[in-house]
Structure 1
Amino acid sequence: MPLDTGGLTSLDLRTGGDRETSRGGGLTPTLEVGPDIGAALKAARELRGLNLQELADSTRIRRSYLAAIEEMRLDELPSRPFTIGYIRAYAAALGLDGDAAVERFRRDEPVADTALRAPIGVTETKDPRVTLVVGGGMLVLAAIVLWNIAQRAMTADAPPPHTAPAAAIAKAKLGAPAGPVALGAPLPAPVESTTPTPYETPGLAAATAAGGSSDAVVAANKAAAAAPKSTEPPTATEPLPPTFVARGTVYGAEPGASVVIVQARKGASLIVRGAGGAAHFARQLSAGQAYRVPNVKGLTLEVTDPAAFQVFIGGQSKGLLPAATIAAEKLTG
């Protein structure tokens, strides 16, 4: 009578004549087969009839990573946390327990967790500005060091300072007076340092005397205009120098081109006009400055104060300027 072998799928003869049969339930894949978890996952995949590309499409994991897991080439995989995640996803895609697959992997590869590694393909780049800043700082530091070295070298090569001979120093000490030094009389202040005459505002004194009334100023101006003007030439209140001595800048004609010189005794303005009334020279002269009148016909001199100017003919004094407005030809007459 034939045996019923409907449920028998494989027959394994063991040593000693024992036989082991496995039925359909024995074809269920397990994570404990093979030398490592990679071999177990590969066996389960092949049992399902799947290839690596199909698993890569379903798990979104690179095909090269799946192949490296099956062959346990861990150096081709990212850091350990990423590898554990890939194994869990691989097992789940095959319908297996992902946590059990991870536990088998940890038993197969009991390596302590290390620092996280960057994903493969990422390159670390340095900020180029940091390099520029560091390089610039080094150049500045090198320049400062070289400058100090050069300064020290130049100082070392410099000749010693000049000193007077010992004999000259001893002679100077012998010539110095031993007692008190006698001082002369104080000298007058320079011409440029004299205080100018205070400016008086026309009509201010009359307005002040009238209590600040503007009518008093108008009346004073009318009285001054109606009063007869004095035609007498100004007189000097102090002796005048007999000869011309330049005590400042001499404007006008070149030396030898004219013999008429007008020198300011104090600060005052001088205007020289031509025959047509055009101004040839206009300046505020300080005390000591002079103007050499050109030998040109039709010149007229206008000054603010005749007593502020002294006239010299051929270097000899002719007194003060006769009037505020005078023709140059009358000065030599």
Structure 2
Amino acid sequence: MAKQRLSVVVTRRLPEPVETRLAELFDVTLRDDDTQMSREDLLQTVQTANVLVTNLNDRIDSEVIAACGPQLKLIANYGAGVDHIEVEEARAKGITVTNTPGVMTEDTADMAMALVLAVTRRIPEGLAQMERGKWEGWSPSAMLGGRIRGRKLGILGLGRIGRALAHRARAFGMEIHYHNRRRVHPGIEEQLQATYWESLDQMLARMDVLSINCPHTPATYHLVNARRLKLMKPDAVIVNTSRGEVVDEAALARALKAQEIGGAGLDVYEGGEEMAAELRSLGNVVMLPHMGSATLEGRIEMGEKVMLNIRTFEDGHRPPDVVLPEML
């Protein structure tokens, strides 16, 4: 007698190769269009599915966990960040949570470096000038940006992505500094020629560029707040490819508007459309639509990790990417 296949529900469209393989392996329910599953559908789905494949737009809070039927045993998140999932409550109900770490390291580091260059060299401003047909020819004083060679890069969170960014920044001649919950191994510091700062405040006051690469947790919420923004140099640049909640976005907007810091490159956001509109109105901000990990290769690799976690779980073994509360 053939083994009954797991019922797997995916809350958002995934790349076609991932969806095709999911359909081959499981009894999968896919989205018909590229829209997020509604709250009502989500609450109904968790009452019947064996596995829920979520993404960062799904709010898996206490209400959703409480609605989960006894058959739902795995939440396989399509992405590394799990701050949208109540992991401890899920585990207390016997539900395993997995994620897809390490897949988007290189892609996100590429984007962080691109934002450093875009802000310091004013690339979007130049592009907009050309698109509007406003270029009046070369001038010695036109579109002057800043040279990044020799600038101090402070990395907030020297994990996989932070280290990948450090390698790129060193190739551009930047000095590498970092702040972490824990100091990394001396061998890593030596390889990156990185200087550790135990005090985040002291590091911020001395950096030319700050790159935020730490996850969003209760401990990192608004870690870069109004007080810390005032510590930074007036020509300093902030780049955030991690999570919008790490920065007090309203305080950042005020500092940028008052020219208390030089500029920002953002791929993630805390606030809604009103705050985004305020940021878009500022000339010293480069904004991207959360595309740091948006490569076809990366998205397929994320799907492969999701499927490996599900198949390992189906076989009765611990999935390789189980999220534990102490990791958060």
Q: What TM-score do the two structures reach when normalised by structure 2?
A: 0.17
Instruction: Return the structure number with greater relative CO, CA threshold 8 A, min gap 6.
Output: 2
Q: What TM-score do the two structures reach when normalised by structure 1?
A: 0.17
